[in-house]
Amino acid sequence: MTNRYAMLTIKKLNGEEAASRAPALADVLIDCVEGGASVSFMLPISRDTALDFWHGVARGVARGERILLVAEDAEEHIVGTVQIVTAQPENQPHRADIAKMLVSRRARRQGVAQRLMAAADAAAREAGKTVLVLDTVTGGDAERLYQRAGWQRVGSVPMYALMPDGALCGTTFYYKHLA
């Protein structure tokens, strides 16, 4: 069995590119939320909600407040994305947050998330960031990914957020020092 995502390309989008790719990014977000991902959105998620979110991200990219990376398959379809939120308080210029690490259900378990996270590390370093922080659903599949990628678990907060179906879930916080 061959990995259909072996020809995966990771791209950094500028604000204009992010805005123009909002429909494809919305597809990924909707797929993830409909698949149960707790990424700030509830079911049912409308296409307008997803598009509004990505247009806001595009504006943030254009203002230099965040970095948007996408994973494209050989046909240039977006199958995953991650953001590095670089706009931080004045006393934390060395830090960034990793946000909205999303991989389409059809592309999971193919190394897409691992490649996106490695690219996020590189983009954060390039932006002068030395400490990264993220949070994820406690006990979710992403925890294994982050631990394998060298992230350090800080702790968990029970009943921190809601799953898309309204069920409460815990959230685990991680950090990573970049060399």
Q: Could you tell me the residue ranges of all domains in the chain?
A: 9-177
> What SS3 state is found at 136?
strand
79, 104 contact by CB (below 8 A): yes
CB atoms within 10 A of CB 109: 11
Count Cβ neighbours within 10 Å for each residue of 129-167 and write b for 16 or more, e otherwise.
beebbbbbbbebebbebbeeeebeeeebeeebbebbeee
pTM: 0.96
Please state, for a pLDDT cut of 90, what percent of the chain lies above it. 96
151, 175 contact by CB (below 8 A): yes
CATH of 9-177, one of 3.40.50.300, 2.30.42.10, 3.40.630.30, 1.20.1560.10: 3.40.630.30
CA–CA distance, 51 with 29 (Å, rounded to integer) = 9
The tens digit of pLDDT for each residue in 167-177 reads 999 999 999 99
CB atoms within 10 A of CB 29: 26
Mean pLDDT of all residues in 88-102: 98
> In this predicted structure, what is the pLDDT of residue 2?
54
CA–CA distance, 28 with 47 (Å, rounded to integer) = 11
